[in-house]
Amino acid sequence: MKATAVAPANIAFIKYWGKADEALRTPLNDSFSMNLTGAQTTTTVAFDPSFTSDKVELVGGVFSDEEALRVTRGLERIRQRAGSTLKAMVLTKNTFPKGAGSAASASGFAALTVAGFSALGTTLSEKELTVFARLGSGSACRSIPSGFAVWEKGIDSESSYAYSLYPADYWDIRDILVIVDKRMKKVSTSDGMEQVGTSPKLAARLAAIPGRMTGILEAMKKKDFARFGRILEEDCLDMHAVMQSQVPPIRYWSDATERIMDHVILLRESGVSIYFTIDAGPNVHLICEGKDEARVAQSLASITGIEEIIYNKPAGGAHTITEHLF
Ligand code: DP6
């Protein structure tokens, strides 16, 4: 009754910011993302009749009480669905800094869901796995399917699921994740999103998203990178405009964030097809095609304030592996 799963983080090109139902973590809008090869979580889950309580540990770090409780609640949902009462030991390992965006919770809950059900011998459809991952952290549902995923907002829990639109090898898109601050973000995504309704810009954002979804999926189909990039950058700036106009306002950017954004714009003006997107934190994802990655990487050498750079290609989805962490 032990299983291990690996799940990728994902970067959203059309972003999720705001819930229709807080408890079910159903979103206010559809979103679209790409799984990342360079930011992954491995989780081993073991259920055992001798365990008297759930134990949740992180390799090279510690979960806060709140985070551990969120994982335990995830285990509870898995047990309920699988018809088990056994307690579990969970060990998890990330290849990237926790809190450096929403990445850790997305890959974390995707890995927990796949490993948890596998450890109890319960086989679910990919669709149902995405729903269970979503209940842990919304964006985690997009880390289950392979490659490029759509998360439909749906009208209830069952219809709010994610699926793969294209496999990882469909288009050689790169995400150069520029880390300017490894610390945990100050306002968690869950807390930040709760106030989304106070932004006067929310209605305009929700009205614009269906058009943006259609546009980016068309660009994807035609592999029209300039259109693809324009739309993803526009959606990023729009989400941050909503965040910054909430009450109280949330500004996730730092000086270094703005420096990187300026750098991308200058690079683009010099003829490189490059765009940026930013989640709920100060780190910047530079999006380009494979052919331009070396040039972008080289250009970053002169920028101050960069702590680490993670180079990502499109990744497959969450899956089990036979090597366990304990
Ligand atoms: C800005 O999925 O972390 O990264 O459902 O409350 O756990 P919870 O939120 P989470 O939010 C991700 C927000 C985002 C945009 C995105 O990934 O779509």
Tens of pLDDT, residue by residue over 51-102, are: 999 999 999 888 889 899 999 999 999 999 999 999 999 999 998 766 554 4
Q: With beta carbons less than 8 A apart as the criterion, state whether 88 and 75 touch.
A: yes
Residue 35 Cβ < 6 Å to ligand 1: no
Residue 186 pLDDT > 80, yes or no?
A: no
Q: Where are the beta strands (DSSP E) in 152-197?
A: 162-166, 173-179
Q: With beta carbons less than 8 A apart as the criterion, state whether 235 and 201 touch.
A: no
CA distance 138 to 142: 8
Ligand 1: which atom is nearest the Cα of residue 138? 5
Mutate-to-test residue for ligand 1 from 30, 112, 139, highest number of ligand atoms within 8 A of CB: 139
The label of the residue with tokens 């149902």 reads 128
Residue 189 Cβ < 6 Å to ligand 1: yes
Centre of ligand 1 to C-alpha 197, Å, is: 16
| Nearest one of 191, 127, 171 to 289, comparing CA atoms | 171
What's the confidence (pLDDT) of residue 231? 98
Residue 138 Cβ < 6 Å to ligand 1: yes
Q: With beta carbons less than 8 A apart as the criterion, state whether 100 and 67 touch.
A: no
Sequence-separated (6 or more) residues with CB below 8 Å from residue 186: none
The label of the residue with tokens 């930040």 reads 192
Task: Convert the pLDDT of each residue in 196-241 to its tens digit.
Answer: 999 999 999 999 999 999 999 999 999 999 999 999 999 999 999 9
Centre of ligand 1 to C-alpha 128, Å, is: 19
Residue 277 Cβ < 6 Å to ligand 1: no
Residue 128 corresponds to which amino acid? E
Residue 16 Cβ < 6 Å to ligand 1: yes
- Identify the weakest region by mean pLDDT among 33-47, 94-108, 185-199, 238-252: 94-108
What's the confidence (pLDDT) of residue 61? 84
| Tokens read off for 153 | 């907002």
Residue 235 Cβ < 6 Å to ligand 1: no
Centre of ligand 1 to C-alpha 4, Å, is: 24
Task: Give residue 184's pLDDT band: very low, low, confident or very high (50, 70, 90).
Answer: low
| Tokens read off for 67 | 């985070």
What's the confidence (pLDDT) of residue 101? 47
Residue 37 Cβ < 6 Å to ligand 1: no
Sequence-separated (6 or more) residues with CB below 8 Å from residue 294: none
Measured at the CA of 51, the angle between CA 46 and CA 55, to 5 degrees, comes to: 65
DSSP letter string, 27-70? ESS-EEEEEEEEEEEEEEEEEETT-SS-EEEETTB---HHHHHH
What's the confidence (pLDDT) of residue 102? 46
Q: Where are the beta strands (DSSP E) in 278-316?
A: 284-289, 308-312
CA 114 to chain centre: 16
Centre of ligand 1 to C-alpha 289, Å, is: 25
Phi/psi-derived region of residue 258, left when phi > 0, alpha when psi is between -120 and 50, beta in every other case: alpha
Task: Convert the pLDDT of each residue in 109-141 to its tens digit.
Answer: 999 999 999 999 999 999 999 999 999 999 999
CA distance 326 to 90: 9
Residue 43 Cβ < 6 Å to ligand 1: no
What's the confidence (pLDDT) of residue 176? 97
CA 142 to chain centre: 7
Nearest CA to ligand 1 atom 6: 190
Ligand 1: which atom is nearest the Cα of residue 137? 7
pLDDT > 70: percent of the chain: 97
What's the confidence (pLDDT) of residue 103? 55
Instruction: State the CB neighbour count (10 A cutoff) for residue 246.
Output: 22
Q: With beta carbons less than 8 A apart as the criterion, state whether 125 and 154 touch.
A: no
Instruction: State the CB neighbour count (10 A cutoff) for residue 22.
Output: 10
Residue 242 Cβ < 6 Å to ligand 1: no
Residue 279 Cβ < 6 Å to ligand 1: yes
What's the confidence (pLDDT) of residue 253? 95
Q: With beta carbons less than 8 A apart as the criterion, state whether 171 and 220 touch.
A: yes
Residue 15 Cβ < 6 Å to ligand 1: yes
Mutate-to-test residue for ligand 1 from 14, 15, 16, 134, highest number of ligand atoms within 8 A of CB: 16
Residue 147 Cβ < 6 Å to ligand 1: no
| Nearest one of 186, 189, 220, 201 to 289, comparing CA atoms | 220
Task: Convert the pLDDT of each residue in 253-305 to its tens digit.
Answer: 999 999 999 999 999 999 999 999 999 999 999 999 999 999 999 999 989 99
Residue 160 Cβ < 6 Å to ligand 1: no
